[in-house]
Structure 1
Amino acid sequence: MSQMRPPQSNREAVQLAYQTEDGLSLRQRIHEVYSFPQISFVEWVLSRIQWRGDEYVLDIGAGNGAYFEPIQSRIPQGTLIAGDLSMGMARCAALHPAAGHILNLDAERLPFPKHTFDVVLANHVLFHVTDVNRALSEIQRVLKPSGVLLASTNSQTNMPELDMLFKRVFGLLGVRPKTASLAEPQPHFHLEDAPRLAARHFFAVARYDLPSVLIFPEAQPLIDYVRSTRALRELLLPPSIAWEDFMNVFADQVQRLINHYGELVVSKLSGVIVASNMGGFCREYVQKLRLAQG
């Protein structure tokens, strides 16, 4: 039984969760294998904008480099700079065969002059930053006036079946479900409030949604998925519940459901925010607006 010390703050939890690529890579594989319909989320995100092929691109929170190869294929004459606040993730990204220039990068303090990049990506990362408005301000600063931000995130209602399962586990362990939640902390920049936050810094913002499901015909992949999020979730457990006790009851409930129904379906809702001041999807409108204003 693991005796890992629970993280004491959300920031510490994020740092612990991304010390290595193991948990992230496991979750990515589970999404690839068990999602329906089988759509590459990375390709879907990148196809929200048109690419010229010579863009100067910044990938913030690059993780293990899931976006590197698809980006490089779109910018044969361009340049990719990527980074992550986690040194472990930055080292992992540097080993990727399609890695560009890799930095240890803080989204709230970007080390670049203004108007540097054509495209900035911040995928499934802005809900982890301490000050999302500062991060968005920094992104707007380093983007060219015609540059575009792509920022993917999850809905507040992502994976509701998991939340129901967690509440059932709490009840079985003697904790009132209404007083406890194990949903991953997303205090800001979820799919519902991301457009409002981005609109403080960009003239035009669009939101694209991609609903899908995870279908588990066996219990172990879902158990592994939740176990891999320990660093992010253990902080949320009531003091009376140990992580291993929670996981034991959770695993039992998942197995019972699959034994009864033959599979367990978990609904997903993720999406991407596209934002710009005068480029991308709003370019033509901005040009017409300027002509109309003389």
Structure 2
Amino acid sequence: MKIGEFAKKSGVTVKTLLHYDKIGLLEPSEKTDSGYRIYCEEDLLKLQQITTLKFIGLSLNEISHILHESGENLESMISFQKKALEEKKKHIDAVIEVFNKAQNTARKNGFLDASNLIDIIKVTNMESRVREQYKSDKNLNIRSNLHSYNTNKVDFDKWCFSNINFFENAKILELGCGTGKLWLKNKEYISSDLDITLSDFSKSMIKIAKGRLEEVSHDFNYEEINAENIPYEDETFDIIIAQHMIYFIPDIEKALAEIQRVLKPKGIFYVTANSCEAMKELNKLAEKFAPNLGLDTNGYSERFDLEHGKGILEKYFSKVEVEILDGKIIVDDPKPVVSYKASTIQGSSILVGERKKEFTKYLEEHIRKNGHISITTKTCMFKAEK
């Protein structure tokens, strides 16, 4: 097929096809001596993949990476597209549910209050921003760097591991495993009889975790899982772990119901979260620097934190206990502090270019006057028993 016929058959404009050819995303199978582009059925399959991936929100660069560098076969590619579309459908359903609630409120009261508006903004915007944050481990590493200045030298992951009761032959699921650091840092203490499944909603994170844990002599299972729809039967796991990830889930209540469902009777859900007191000094500095821009918050973590988490968990679990880890970051260099704020969801769009340089100078002046920046850290682990 020549480009005009191919465009007509596929429903894509000639201009779009020319652009895809120019950037190397979809090159025709053949170009004649006269310069005509000739497309075949295989090109039609590639175009289908491109349009589907574009529909679910991926950029052309991301699509190019998937098509040209993933090395996946046709069956796995179709499976990936199908799963991605299912995820998009779930998100759309969640958005519709929030709008239905808002509509009912408006019908009843004649207006929408701030909480309704905040719900709409968060649920419509958060998923894409969270996915952008966790395409790689770059942002996690930046934030870990600031915490290396903590005067409390108790390692967070080792502290978490020590607070989990890994009894013999336990079947374990970690949601949002990230880079797998919980297991890497505690590799010498992992019992061989444990059945451990590591999961994340980010395919990239699972790949990173799998690579890092190759040095650990344990046979981990790996799954791509959305916590709102855990693909296991009722009462499958003895232990479920979620480190600092519950507040990123669009529908927290739905996720907790799923976690409760797949836990065995008396099973334990170990979930970590921040306190609203965490980073309070840094947030005050950020607010003075840029008032009313959203730099003075801990992002989505306020949706599930130390102060409110227990009440949320008690809706689904019979017994909830909490352990707290306090600390203090003392730093006399503005660079790790600026990098930390700029790596967050809210900071990534604000602390760029000249404003990032200005924030650095602002912190340099604070350090000159005070000798250092002191930042409270306070995190917790909830132990929720089914």
Shift of 1:107: 0.6
- Maintained 8 Å contact 2:126/2:250: no
Cα deviation code 1:54-88 (max 9, x no counterpart): 21111100001111232772432111101111111
Shift of 1:187: 4.7
Which has more helix, going by share of residues?
A: 2
Q: Separation in 1 of the partners of 2:382 and 2:239?
A: 13
Residues 236-265 of structure 1 deviation map (CA, whole Å, 9 limit, x = unaligned) = x5xxxx743432221111111222222211
Paired position in structure 2 for 1:248 = 357
Cα contact 2:176–2:243 (8 A) shared by 1? yes
Is residue 325 of structure 2 the alignment partner of residue 216 of structure 1?
no
User: Are 1:73 and 2:160 counterparts?
Assistant: no
1:221 to partner: Cα distance: 1.5
| CA RMSD in angstroms, aligned pairs only | 2.0
Equivalent AA in structure 2 for residue 181 of structure 1: G
Runs of 5+ in structure 2 lacking a partner? 1-121
Structure 2 Cα separation of the partners of residues 146 and 227 of structure 1: 42
- How far the C-alpha of 1:101 sits from its partner, in A, is 1.2
1:147 to 228, 252, 267: 267
Instruction: State the distance in 1 between where 2:187 and 2:197 align.
Output: 11
Q: Given that residues 317 and 385 in structure 2 are in contact (C-alpha distance below 8 angstroms), is that contact kept between their aligned partners in structure 1?
A: yes
Using a 3 Å threshold, how does the CA distance of structure 1 residues 72 and 130 change in structure 2: closer, same or farther?
farther
* Unaligned 5+ runs, structure 1: 1-6, 171-176, 278-294
TM-score, normalising length from structure 2? 0.63
- Deviation at residue 121 of structure 1 after TM alignment: 0.3
Confirm or deny: 8 A CA contact 1:122 1:150 kept in the other structure.
yes
For residue 114 of structure 1, report the CA deviation from its aligned partner. Answer: 1.2
If asked which structure has higher relative contact order (CA below 8 Å, sep 6+), I would say 1
**Aligned ranges for residues 143-222 of structure 1 at < 5 Å?**
143-170=263-290, 177=291, 179-182=292-295, 183=297, 184-222=299-337
Check the 8 A contact 1:14/1:232 in 2, yes or no.
no
Bigger proportion of residues as strand:
1
Does the Cα contact within 8 Å between 2:278 and 2:377 map onto a contact in 1?
Answer: yes
Q: Give the TM-score of the pair, scaled to structure 1.
A: 0.81
Provide the residue aligned with 1:9 in structure 2.
125
The reply on whether 1:38 has 2:153 as its aligned counterpart is yes
- Mapped contact 2:319–2:385 kept (Cα < 8 A): yes
Distance 1:72 1:105, change over 3 A: farther
**Could you tell me which residue of structure 2 aligns to residue 24 of structure 1?**
140
Greater Rg by CA: 2
User: Aligned partners of 1:215, 1:187: CA distance in 2, in Å?
Assistant: 24
Distance 1:71 1:144, change over 3 A: farther
> Aligned in 2, Cα 1:157/1:88: closer, same or farther, shift over 3 Å?
same
